[in-house]
Amino acid sequence: MNINTITAEDLRRMPDKEGLILQGCGGDLTEWVDGINEMLTNAGILKDGSQFENVFAFQHGELTCLLYPFDDVKLDIGKLALWRLQTHEVYGGT
């Protein structure tokens, strides 16, 4: 697994990249990536054994945020949309 640190400006230069952003990810970022992979697998969102392997970390104000790009994963996008609605208050993402 790779967690690459980028700047908010780098993020602005990725207009064609789609993914899941979680805001306020404190502590060990590896635990966040592993935990989200496990949660999304258990919810049937990540399919065929795919996992987020290349994640980006960036700062937004004082918050550490993680971008999980959709590039190399197989997703059930409908289930992901429902999961996002159900967890928006918890994870404060977009």
Q: pLDDT tens for residues 37-84? A: 999 999 999 999 999 999 999 999 999 999 999 998 999 999 999 998
Q: Judge whether 23 and 59 are in contact, CB under 8 Å.
A: no
Q: In this predicted structure, what is the pLDDT of residue 64?
A: 94
30 pLDDT more than 60: yes
What are the backbone dihedrals phi and psi of residue 8, each rounded to the nearest 5 degrees, phi first?
A: -60, -35
Q: In this predicted structure, what is the pLDDT of residue 90?
A: 77
Average pLDDT rounded to a whole number, residues 17-25:
91
Q: Would you call 55 helix, strand, or coil by DSSP?
A: strand
> Structural domain boundaries of the chain?
2-91
CA–CA separation, 72 and 30 (whole Å): 18
